[in-house]
Amino acid sequence: MCRHLAYLGPPVTLAELLFEPAYSLVRQSWAPRDMRGGGTINADGFGVGWYPGDGEPVRYRRAQPIWSDPTIADLAAVTRSGAVLAAVRSATVGMAVLDGAAAPFAEGRWLFSHNGVIRGWPDAVVPLAATLPVRDLLTLDAATDSALLWALVRHRLRAGEDAARAVAETVADVAAAAPGSRLNLLLTDGRSVVASVAGHALSVRAARGSVLLASEPHDDAPGWRPVPEGQLVTATADEVRVRPLPIR
Ligand code: GLN
């Protein structure tokens, strides 16, 4: 169910990240090697967010398979960035297939993605959703669990929480309210990345001033490190830290 990645490091083309690796995100959209919790392909949309310079990111999102989009391959070939977040989506049954339901979700410098599902959606998280301003609920990108998770994380970021705490506390809140949920979140501001590992796989490859976090390794080269379940990763291009997620 969904595959995502985040990259920080020297500028590379989007094609080098999304298309060229042997088990690239594009290949993972039709032949993922590790799918859990249902779903076989990731054909319900995709999105890429990248930072063209020091400013805010640019996004390209579509509600169709990444392999059938006529534009993304050309765009990816000529677009370079040192900070990228991308995802391919397998919609949870009953959830809308719209451009706005595809990650990355965004505000200001932030880009966000969710790989997983909220169990008991939406009833299980009504009390949590009620802690958000009504305006936030009325302006969700889509009526999906992932869009609500972004609203919950964003609410904490707006209140001044640091990214690691915003992700960790949101995972803890939702896991307590909706046990059995799969909550692999990915958040970046283009300088650092935070990722939770809660229900799905995540691997990290850190090398020579770059870091790549991905649902599945992109190739069989050495250097990929699987992150154990129940961990929170915080990374910059130069440093990767892993610590346990809080449990309530
Ligand atoms: N449940 C989310 C959605 O439908 C994410 C799905 C996923 O991880 N496959 O958009």
pLDDT of 35 above 90: no
The finding on whether 3 has its CB within 6 A of some atom of ligand 1 is no
Query: pLDDT tens, 166-186?
Result: 999 999 999 999 999 999 999
User: Residue 23 half-sphere exposure, CB side, CA atoms within 13 Å?
Assistant: 16
With b for 16 or more beta-carbon neighbours within 10 A and e for fewer, the 162-187 pattern comes to: ebbebbbbbbbbbbebbeebbbbbbb
> 39 CA to middle of ligand 1, Å?
10
Q: Which atom of ligand 1 is nearest to the CA of 116?
A: 8
**Residue at 247: amino acid letter:** I
Quick check: ipTM above 0.90? yes
Closest protein CA for atom 10 of ligand 1: 91
Cβ distance 243 to 231 under 8 Å?
Answer: yes
> 121 CA to middle of ligand 1, Å?
12
Give residue limits of the domains in the chain. 3-244
Q: What's the CA gap between 35 and 3, in Å, rounded?
A: 9
Q: Which of 2, 5, 72, 85 is catalytic?
A: 2
2 is a catalytic site residue: yes
Query: pLDDT tens, 100-146?
Result: 999 999 999 999 999 999 999 999 999 999 999 999 999 999 999 99
Strand arrangement, sheet containing 80-88:
58-62, 46-50, 80-88, 3-13, 210-214, 203-207, 224-226
Residues 6+ away with beta carbon under 8 Å from 230: 197, 198, 244, 245, 247
Residues 6+ away with beta carbon under 8 Å from 208: 9
3-244 has which CATH code?
3.60.20.10
Closest protein CA for atom 9 of ligand 1: 1
> 143 CA to middle of ligand 1, Å?
11
